[in-house]
Amino acid sequence: MMTKKTKKILTLPAVENQLLELRAGDMVELSGTILTGRDAAHKRMMEYLDKGEALPFDIVNQGIYYTGPCPAGPGKIIGSCGPTTSYRMDSYTPRLLDLGLKVMIGKGQRSPEVIEAMKRNGAVYLAAVGGAAALIAQCVKKAEVLAFEDLGPEAVYQLQVENLPLITATDCRGNNLYEIGPSKYKL
């Protein structure tokens, strides 16, 4: 018999006790302010940090959504904004987690190094449903470019979201839905 999981409410910027309550497999409705960033933005962030410069935005207790939004159509706040594959940011992520990043949103598995950094820093990884980009865009109430405008859709945006539906893929203890889920069906 399956037990019904309750939906967790998460508001960003992150509050530590909210993150501690999340367990791998929990459904989450996320509201608040999140950043966006894909490969090019992450590479640029590392260039800033390698030069000893501060990032042009605050990541402490913040969440970053691995997406490159499409341009907004007439009367729209943002275009489709589905998740990109998260492992492409894995080489950059432990450093950002050590600097205070608390929530990552994307799709697919994360490396053991990222999961260790999540455990060390009390961070979580939330999965967004691939293929639902237009529906996800409906949760965005405000969007503005914060940094790296020259990167176009890969610029860092600040999004105000309401009730963004997500799944806790990896909790801050390192429990990983990508391992837990398949293990239930092994013979």
Distance between CA 46 and CA 68 in Å, rounded?
A: 18
Catalytic residue (choose from 38, 42, 44, 107): 42
Tokens matching residue 56 = 């042009």
42 is catalytic: yes
Q: Determine the Cα angle at 183 with ends 86 and 24, to 5°.
A: 50
Beta strands in the chain (DSSP E): 7-12, 27-36, 63-65, 103-106, 124-127, 140-147, 156-170
* Integer Cα distance of 92 and 97 in angstroms: 9
Distances (CA, A) of 130 to 9, 52, 74: 21, 36, 24
C-alpha pair distances (Å), 9 with each of 59, 108, 166, 183: 21, 22, 10, 27
Kindly state the DSSP code that residue 96 receives in the 8-state scheme: H
Q: Which single residue is written with the structure tokens 């341009």?
A: 71
Tell me the C-alpha distance between 78 and 86, whole Å: 21
Q: Catalytic amino acids? A: 42
